[in-house]
Amino acid sequence: MEFTAKAEYALRAATFLANAGPGPVKSEAIAVAEDIPLRFLHNILAALTRAGILSSLRGADGGYELTRAPARITAADVIRAVEGPYAAGGSPDAADAPVPRRGGNDALRAVWAVLRANERAVLESVTLVDLVSGRLPDLSAVGRFTTT
């Protein structure tokens, strides 16, 4: 799976906010700390706000903050907020969704379906707390989906 700069920047910004603790953080501070172009960051923060991951507070003491505990926000939530509902391994039923038919190889289509399901399972298992701590959860049993 390949991630866009937008998805990576969104994860970095959300992780920065998770590490910042309670209270709003100005977009300029996030941009400088994470080396994200400010105009690009504004678009990302707007998407995260529309998705309900962030709240935006105006005024001199304003900025952005997470709307819920970092342990309740997954990497998949953040990626989907900026890339759309089919990002981060697909929609919730992507494992069951038919793969577009491009040829006659059912086994190959099954490989793509299992791959998407496993990507989604990993991204749904990693939270902002994990990213802040630098320690991922045990993923050895996550995403062992099969087609049977």
Q: What CATH number corresponds to the domain at position 41?
A: 1.10.10.10
Q: What is the pLDDT of residue 96?
A: 43
Comparing 4-13, 81-90, 105-114, the range with the smallest average pLDDT is 81-90
Across 2-6, 8-12, 19-23, 95-99, least confident range = 95-99
Within 13 A of 37's CA, how many CA atoms are on the CB side? 5
Number of independent structural domains in the chain:
1
Does residue 75 fall inside a structural domain?
A: yes
From residue 115, how far is each of 7, 16, 100 by CA, in Å? Answer: 19, 29, 15
AA identity, residue 134: G
Residue 5 has pLDDT above 80, yes or no: yes
- Residue 147 in tokens: 């087609």
* Percent of the chain with pLDDT strictly greater than 90: 53
Of 39, 38, 120, the closest CA to residue 74 belongs to 120
Per-residue pLDDT, averaged over 140-147, amounts to 64
Q: Is residue 118 part of a domain?
A: yes
Residue at 146 is within a domain? no
For 43-63, write each residue's pLDDT tens digit.
999 999 999 999 999 988 889
How does pLDDT run across 86-117, given as a tens digit for each residue? 665 554 444 444 445 555 677 888 888 888 88
Q: Span 59-80, mean pLDDT?
A: 94
pTM above 0.85, yes or no: no
Domain range for 82? 5-133
What is the 3-state composition of the chain as percent helix, strand, coil, each rounded to the nearest 5?
Answer: 50, 5, 40
For residue 60, the model assigns a pLDDT of: 85
In a domain, 144, yes or no: no
Total residues found in the chain within this entry? 148
Give a yes or no: residue 26 inside a domain. Answer: yes
Per the domain annotation, does 12 fall within a domain?
A: yes
Any residues with CB less than 8 A from the CB of 55 and at least 6 apart, and which?
49, 64, 65, 66, 67
Per-residue pLDDT, 95: 43
Average pLDDT across the chain, whole number: 85
pLDDT at 112: 81
Domain-embedded: residue 37:
yes
Q: How far apart are CA 65 and CA 90, in angstroms?
A: 27
- Asked if residue 145 belongs to a domain, the reply is no
